[in-house]
Structure 1
Amino acid sequence: MPSPAIPTRRSVLQGGLAAGVAVAATASGVLGSSPANAAAATPSSAADKIRPFRASIAGTRLTELRHRVGSTRWPSRELVADREQGVQLAASQALAKYWKTRYDWRRFEAKLNKLPQYTTEIDGVEIHFIHVRSPHKDALPLLATHGWPGSIVEFVDAAGPLTNPTAHGGKASDAFHLVVPSIPGYGFSGQPTERGWDATRVANAWVELMRRLGYPKWVAQGGDVGAVVTDTLGRLSPAGLAGIHMNLLVTALGGAPVPTVTAEEQAAKAALTAFQTTGSAYLTEQSFRPQTIGYALSDSPVALAAWMLDHDTDSYTKIARTFLGGSPSGNLTRDHVLDNISLYWLTNSGVSAARIYWESAHPQAAGGATPPAIKVPVGFSAFPGELFQAPRSWVESGYPTLSYYNKPARGGHFAAWEEPELFTAEVRAAFRALR
């Protein structure tokens, strides 16, 4: 099989994981294929077994977290009135105060443990995943992949509407069986001990996961890093994958030519250029020096929080303002934001999560092959608070098999997390014709 092209420094700066990673879908074959029936998914060894999982963080670690937050040595205040120099001191101090004095991890832990969770070893790494089966027998299996600096937290509040639509104003015919894995190196999944865990390897692992779960037909969804993995799944075209849906246009991030004729296209191009020039400092560091920033991410919870909030999008700006008394961006309240940051801290996954960017910039396979075309139907939702709101013309250019496109009225980079009901409506509409 042809090898992927090695991304240049410029291409990585343009698109991070998106730059060159979709091409990496040609680097390796699919780990198995979906079974013709559920019986075919019977684990073949002890390592293949699927084991129940419950989150349970020791109280001493929560005490240590509060102590570390309270012991932060603060930098001097930024010299500008906006976020031009990074996350502002006032926002970081307000976050720290709330984290130490009011935030309750046990609340989130109990909420998470209400969802069925499991682990299974795939390709040498323990994979943690949420698996909620719908009460409706004809539900369509949906694999949802989170992004960075997100996690499975993104989909927790969408689990109910997706799997039990009749309890959330929907129809039984719109139900999904939901599978939400933690990418290796993120959250409760194991941390890789060898290089090579790029988007292609993650996508291959997801194919194997769906095989083990006995799903002969399924669809996939993702945003941010999850969009790269989902794009890669589409290019791998494993047996059983019926369609994909994304809410970040990774082809444009990766430098693919896009039209800039209409006012809508020009506005999207301006937003994309602004991100590439002033909003991608984290991307550069994680693509080339993840270990260096990892010391701060592993040693200081406030450094971790600031690093995760340092992005130039409407959603991130509102998150910072939320800790100063502003209105949250949809569902992104102070508690929900700290659920995600705390998950990173308590699993010490700051640096291991960042390394997937390095993997994108340093693929092991060399070459200049053209990535295979996506043949399955593609759905796309252009949320207004995204890095850039991709016009339909851009999406059609990147995905000729586009079967669904919509511009929701609200929502941003963390669409499922910010607007779980609206996100659910988009996913239902995108896959309705594929059932």
Structure 2
Amino acid sequence: MSRPSSDVRAFEARAADADLDDLRARLAAARLPEAETVRGAPPGPGRWAQGVPLADLADVVEYWRTGYDWRPFEARLNTIGQFRTDIDGLGIHFLHRRSARADATPLIMTHGWPDSVVRFIDVVEELADPKDADAPAFHVVVPSLPGFGYSDKPAVTGWGTEKIAAAWVELMGRLGYGTFLAHGGDWGGNITSVLAGRFPAHVLGVHSTFAEAPPGLTTDGLTETERRWAEGTRDFWRRRGAYAKLMATGPQTIGYALTDSPVGLLAWLLDKFAEWSDTDDSPFERISRDRILDDVTLYWLTRSGASSSRIYYESHNSVDPELRVDVPSAITMYPYDVEKAPRPWAQERYRRIVRWGEPESGGHFPSLEVPEYFVNDLREGLAAVLAARG
């Protein structure tokens, strides 16, 4: 095990009252557009066909202004344990929850967009100190991606997924973890793959809800379900990927709106929580209003609308086609996620899949949507990974 470094500093979140007052004032003065022209559509995906419905947004804006309280979430972050360290000239924020168990294994968990460390806030403590004494325990590290939350905003280009993965190896080493497990979804899944592919001497194995297959694979030999998955992913990028193209080509432009208007930021992020969750109509069927507003408020208070968007500029469609993952891997494809790789495709990149899961429910944010299932699945997947290493 590496030796802990003194370069790691404790960090405590505390938003200024003036910033919270300014947020409420901006919400009170918001100018909303007219209603969508699919107004009156019955509950269901069609009601969101033009984006976040006016009535839904107005309701959340009012609650954000008059009912939501940021302080409990802020206190929760501080209770878990927050730290910062400088890597390659950039301040990196992270949560670090050491387990009380002597047999715990280090685990780094990486979020994506439009989420943040909020993605894992409800599962960290159970993973570190499980109620079941027979369940595996982990020393949990949850970094904020560069440009997200309380991590610094890169002032130069270059902070793509390859550099982030290298920074995570450095971060874990500074905490005394020379070898570790890794989990991720969305961009976190991408980074987890790069971690395992580039740094197999440090990565014991991975669990991911995002398995990006190499390009150019044929659908020959796929089952009917696997063909639907492949077509669904293609359809997603053909018809619903404009948000990614916009942030990949103009993060600064959209960043002005996301930094200046809390309502604009809310709508931009809420649209994805709605579209990508396993719900019939509203994201709040699975994820509470407070938890989503914790995420949006974190973006707002840290002014990270533009800086978080730049990960698309740096890394969209940038995974090395030749990247291969040879460490043991556990992959879970949640049914309502937006990208699902057929197992034969995934195996072209992840060459030691020791566990493959296809749950009956859950979408892009399983740790928020189905946290109990997520925790059990992660434990079983990582147990299989460790068993495969002997």
TM-score normalized by structure 1?
Answer: 0.82
Q: Rate the CA distance shift 1:203–1:369 in 2: closer, same or farther, 3 A.
A: closer
Q: Which deviates more from structure 2 when the two are superposed, residues 346-355 or residues 370-379? A: 370-379
Whether the 8 Å contact between 2:105 and 2:137 is mirrored in structure 1 is yes
Give matches, 1:379-394, under 5 Å.
379-394=330-345
Aligned to 2:24: 66
Aligned to 1:54: 12
Residue in structure 2 matching 1:359, options 314, 326, 332:
314
Which ranges of structure 2 fall in alignment gaps of 5 or more residues? 42-46
Residue in structure 2 matching 1:301, options 262, 267, 274:
262
Alpha-carbon offset, residue 258 of structure 1: 4.8
Aligned to 1:206: 168
Alpha-carbon offset, residue 320 of structure 1: 7.0
Q: What letter matches 2:329 in structure 1?
A: V
Alignment partner of 2:96: what SS?
Answer: strand
Q: Which deviates more from structure 2 when the two are superposed, residues 175-184 or residues 230-239? A: 230-239
Alpha-carbon offset, residue 391 of structure 1: 3.6
Q: Rate the CA distance shift 1:385–1:105 in 2: closer, same or farther, 3 A.
A: same
Alignment partner of 2:80: what SS?
Answer: coil
Aligned to 1:410: 361
Alpha-carbon offset, residue 85 of structure 1: 1.9
Whether the 8 Å contact between 2:277 and 2:365 is mirrored in structure 1 is no
Give matches, 1:31-430, under 5 Å.
37-39=1-3, 41-43=4-6, 49-80=7-38, 81=41, 82-165=47-130, 167=131, 169=132, 171-172=134-135, 174-251=136-213, 256-259=217-220, 261-311=222-272, 315-316=276-277, 318=279, 321=282, 328-329=285-286, 332-361=287-316, 371-430=322-381
Separation in 2, partners of 1:411, 1:212: 35
Alpha-carbon offset, residue 90 of structure 1: 1.6
Alpha-carbon offset, residue 97 of structure 1: 1.0
Query: What percent identity do the matched residue pairs reach?
Result: 40
Aligned residues: 379
Alignment partner of 1:221: what SS?
Answer: strand
Separation in 2, partners of 1:157, 1:199: 25
Q: What letter matches 2:138 in structure 1?
A: F
Alpha-carbon offset, residue 141 of structure 1: 0.4
Q: Which deviates more from structure 2 when the two are superposed, residues 102-111 or residues 268-277? A: 268-277
Separation in 1, partners of 2:133, 2:289: 29
Alpha-carbon offset, residue 413 of structure 1: 0.3
Deviations 1:242-268 (A, max 9, x none): 11111022227x665455742211221
Separation in 2, partners of 1:69, 1:177: 39
Whether the 8 Å contact between 2:183 and 2:208 is mirrored in structure 1 is yes
Whether the 8 Å contact between 1:309 and 1:316 is mirrored in structure 2 is no
Q: Rate the CA distance shift 1:319–1:143 in 2: closer, same or farther, 3 A.
A: farther
Whether the 8 Å contact between 2:157 and 2:314 is mirrored in structure 1 is yes
Whether the 8 Å contact between 2:217 and 2:345 is mirrored in structure 1 is no
Q: Rate the CA distance shift 1:65–1:257 in 2: closer, same or farther, 3 A.
A: farther
Separation in 2, partners of 1:177, 1:266: 39
Q: Which deviates more from structure 2 when the two are superposed, residues 106-115 or residues 266-275? A: 266-275
Whether the 8 Å contact between 1:319 and 1:337 is mirrored in structure 2 is no
Whether the 8 Å contact between 2:106 and 2:140 is mirrored in structure 1 is yes
Q: Rate the CA distance shift 1:170–1:406 in 2: closer, same or farther, 3 A.
A: farther
Alpha-carbon offset, residue 417 of structure 1: 2.0
Moved over 6 A (4+): none
Q: Rate the CA distance shift 1:362–1:369 in 2: closer, same or farther, 3 A.
A: closer
Whether the 8 Å contact between 1:222 and 1:245 is mirrored in structure 2 is yes
Deviations 1:142-168 (A, max 9, x none): 000001001001111101221112x1x
Alpha-carbon offset, residue 431 of structure 1: 1.4
Q: Which deviates more from structure 2 when the two are superposed, residues 80-89 or residues 291-300? A: 80-89
Deviations 1:44-102 (A, max 9, x none): xxxxx111011100111011111111111111221224322222212211111111111
